[in-house]
Structure 1
């Protein structure tokens, strides 16, 4: 985040979300607004297109996932890279606490780092001071971490936590599940040198409270998170970062899940280690 910014991270955790409110009588039970239905012929074309893409993806994965005896990926089997195409490089095997670490000193490594850092910074851990401080010092350069310590504490104030339905320690009410997740959809390298990289991560964010008494149900939003990274020691570290809204796809014709279904999904489905 740039030094002059006054409210870091409030774009994701506070003011950046555009929420679609369900009927007040039942935050989860009301039917969501439905988009106009397409013609049957267009739907058929879409289904056929998806099936073809899935078959092609499976064939492509089977063709390119060739490894050497020591488990590394053979260079001649890696596909051509693009903004979102995988390189075949295996995910990192080391972690610093719960955060993946030891990313490659390459463009792909910078993209992997940015994706995983976005996931960490968009997690529920950011709403609790101890874990937030730990993430700050793990992911940012020392100078950036020292600069952002105070502003982050102000951003995640007791008033802000209460607005999200959390107590002063960042915990949800008994019987409720607080959801905060970032799910990267793609990355792109805007600039790269041996010492610095600028990587944008396009993602969908989930945030809200799942519970029978919640007035702030879990909603989704699409954003782009741009990281200025620096190679520091043996890994990529964040120097600054910014966020902007979108690009957001047209909402689908999906029925909103109940609070119990959201809580169960949050407990059963863990996150990923993202790598290119």
Structure 2
């Protein structure tokens, strides 16, 4: 029994007044176990070994979490850094973020516009993806349903040769019969009191091929099309598509040479309540678009 234990229990040892006094010998008296254990009525504090073990486990857990978070931060920083590095490279796949392909490059959006369309994109992989995303917005806009604005969009986004070849076929595509089926008049206008909706929101871009002066880029997007109005027979609906652009560096900017479209990938629809036509009209009027940068 240690000194500390003796001091903590005054009844454990004491002199015997009946014959052992002055000899230095002591007589030990044990308390009944029924009164709280081997050491008497007042239980001694339990060993701190269990507490130390618990604290040690907590400390190790915290250290493991901190280490994991530090590793995640380093990974994110690395991805962002390599994305920024690849933005400054004109060729090859070196430095492209593999684990997080949608990581932002860190490059600033362009500050110039042609025909109200962002222009002047960087001559690199980041720039061609930014161009493709912004061009998708214009090609999916209401301006494509009107002859004058459609021609301006084609002149701004396509190479001179490609734009010239596309005008006649697209005039046939956006024919009067198509406009009528959509509920529009011959000039592409919605009925009075209604709002024609045609919007594209890019979800992501991917470089399929890059050769410095040429590139193939895919743009996955969510599209909204229809007429918002009480008498509309073509309500606004959503669709998921992917556009593929063959791009060329021309006149100090990226231009489209040709493009194609396919359905999806389409997520499973959620349980959101469909908005009323006036809510859609108000949202279209109040919420503007973005300049997209990769």
TM-score by structure 2 length? 0.67
In 1, Cα distance between equivalents of 2:229 and 2:186? 19
Alignment of 1:51-90 (within 5 A): 81=97, 82-90=100-108
Unaligned runs of 5+ in 1: 1-55, 65-73
2:270 counterpart residue number: 252
Residue 128 of structure 1: which of 142, 146, 164 is its match? Answer: 146
- Confirm whether residue 209 of structure 1 aligns to residue 231 of structure 2: no
Structure 2 contact 225–237 (Cα < 8 Å) conserved: yes
1:240 counterpart residue number: 258
Larger radius of gyration: 2
* Runs of at least 4 residues off by over 2 Å: 78-83
In 1, Cα distance between equivalents of 2:174 and 2:227? 16
Structure 1 contact 83–187 (Cα < 8 Å) conserved: no
Residue 112 of structure 1: which of 96, 112, 130 is its match? Answer: 130
| Local SS of the residue matching 1:251 | coil
Higher RCO (CA 8 Å, separation ≥ 6 residues): 1
Aligned length: 208
In 1, Cα distance between equivalents of 2:118 and 2:241? 22
Unaligned runs of 5+ in 2: 1-68, 78-83, 89-94
Structure 2 contact 224–239 (Cα < 8 Å) conserved: yes
Give the aligned CA root-mean-square deviation in angstroms.
2.2
1:206-243 per-residue CA deviation (whole Å, 9 max, x = no partner) reads: 00000000011000010100000000020000000000
When residues 219 and 108 of structure 1 are mapped into structure 2, their CA distance, relative to the original with a 3 A threshold, is same
Residue 213 of structure 2: which of 195, 207, 214 is its match? Answer: 195
1:8-52 per-residue CA deviation (whole Å, 9 max, x = no partner) reads: xxxxxxxxxxxxxxxxxxxxxxxxxxxxxxxxxxxxxxxxxxxxx
Alignment of 1:1-40 (within 5 A): none
- Confirm whether residue 172 of structure 1 aligns to residue 196 of structure 2: no
